Structure 1
Amino acid sequence: MALHLTTVSIALVLLLVRSLLATSFPLNITDNASSAYEILQEYNFPAGLLPKGVVKYDLDESTGRFHAYFTGSCSFSLEGSYQLKYKSTISGIISNNRLKDLSGISVKVLFLWLNIVEVIRDGDELEFSVGIASASFPIDNFYECPQCGCGLDCVNSKVSKFRVKSSFASI
């Protein structure tokens, strides 16, 4: 009987420690790759801002500071538009309708690779800023998550068309 009470006591202590840790530290989700996409949607962004393949993420809900992790870097092109690169870790600060202080995401404009530093949702459009310029895109371009290497049309080995409202090309 003493052994059984000891086991129950240890289990209760572990549960207590786990609950204390969960409330004392930032949220850290590692079990479900789709969770990072769900978090985007909770902040009023479409899941397609992130390519498929997020293996884990962490989010400090008190500050909005987040990190999303991939197994490696990711790049793809969108026909008639842009080449995008995601580093193995991207980070920033998320709030409702705004992603700021972004790092780890870049876009090729003409011959230059520029870091995307902010994304703002304004109604049915997303505005992407590279600091010196910005471009707006219809939000429905981002309902589907692109895939590393082939973008949005990996079945046919072609890259699907991406609608552009205004572009970075004026840089």
Structure 2
Amino acid sequence: MALRMRFRSFEAAIVVVVLVPLLLSVTVAAAYSSSIHELLRNYGLPAGLFPETVKSYNLDQTGVLEVKLDQPCMTKYDTRMLFETVVRANLSFGQLKGLEGLSQEELFLWLPVKGIIVNDPSSGLILIDIGLAYKQLSLSLFEVPPICRSQGLSRNIEGRKSFGFQDLR
């Protein structure tokens, strides 16, 4: 009888050691979002930072966010922005730092976006780090995920971006 009791307590210990972490990970995964837009909101960022056509995303344990699109595309907030097929950044609350795969048009030049920061959501402002300077924009521009168009966008042999006539208007 005593042996059976020990065995039951051993079974209970196994249940606690194996199932509790499993249940917690499922709960944590459920707390994380089912879409990139929900994930951004959970991190204090506006949902419209990425287009509605995001194919998939992955956030690893170190905070590296990788967002995949079917193809490069362009959209317009205040100015035009170009999303590559893969966009990577370090995600922390209120910011995307070390961005790769996102460019913004400034005075007919395409500049890489290095970071996106929301210091104080009540200010209604978002900071876009384009390397040379920070550009302040209204958070309201990023509330809704934009439609991203690939029409006229292609790559030439050297890997430089070229744009069709319609996209240059």
In the superposition, the TM-score normalised over structure 1's length comes to 0.64
Alignment coverage as a number of residue pairs: 121
Q: Please tell me whether Structure 1 or Structure 2 has the larger radius of gyration of its CA atoms.
A: 2
SS at match of 2:84: strand
Amino acid of the residue matched to residue 65 of structure 1? V
Task: Give the unaligned 5+ runs of structure 1.
Answer: 1-15, 151-171
Aligned to 2:54: 54
Deviation of the 1:130 alpha carbon: 0.8
SS at match of 1:122: coil
Cα distance in structure 2, aligned partners of 1:39 and 1:52:
13
Aligned to 2:134: 134
Query: 1:66-145 alignment to 2 at 5 Å?
Result: 66-78=65-77, 81-123=78-120, 124-145=124-145
Aligned to 1:63: 62
Q: Contact 2:37–2:145 (CA<8 Å) still a contact in 1?
A: no
Cα distance in structure 1, aligned partners of 2:101 and 2:52:
16
Cα distance in structure 2, aligned partners of 1:51 and 1:122:
22
Deviation of the 1:112 alpha carbon: 1.1
SS at match of 2:57: strand
Cα distance in structure 2, aligned partners of 1:141 and 1:82:
11
Cα distance in structure 2, aligned partners of 1:101 and 1:77:
21
Deviation of the 1:75 alpha carbon: 0.5
Aligned to 2:44: 44
Cα distance in structure 2, aligned partners of 1:47 and 1:85:
17
Task: Give the unaligned 5+ runs of structure 2.
Answer: 1-17, 151-169
Sequence identity (%): 29
Segments of 4+ moved more than 6 angstroms: none
Aligned to 2:7: none
Cα distance in structure 2, aligned partners of 1:102 and 1:113:
15
Cα distance in structure 2, aligned partners of 1:77 and 1:143:
13
Amino acid of the residue matched to residue 111 of structure 1? F
SS at match of 2:141: helix
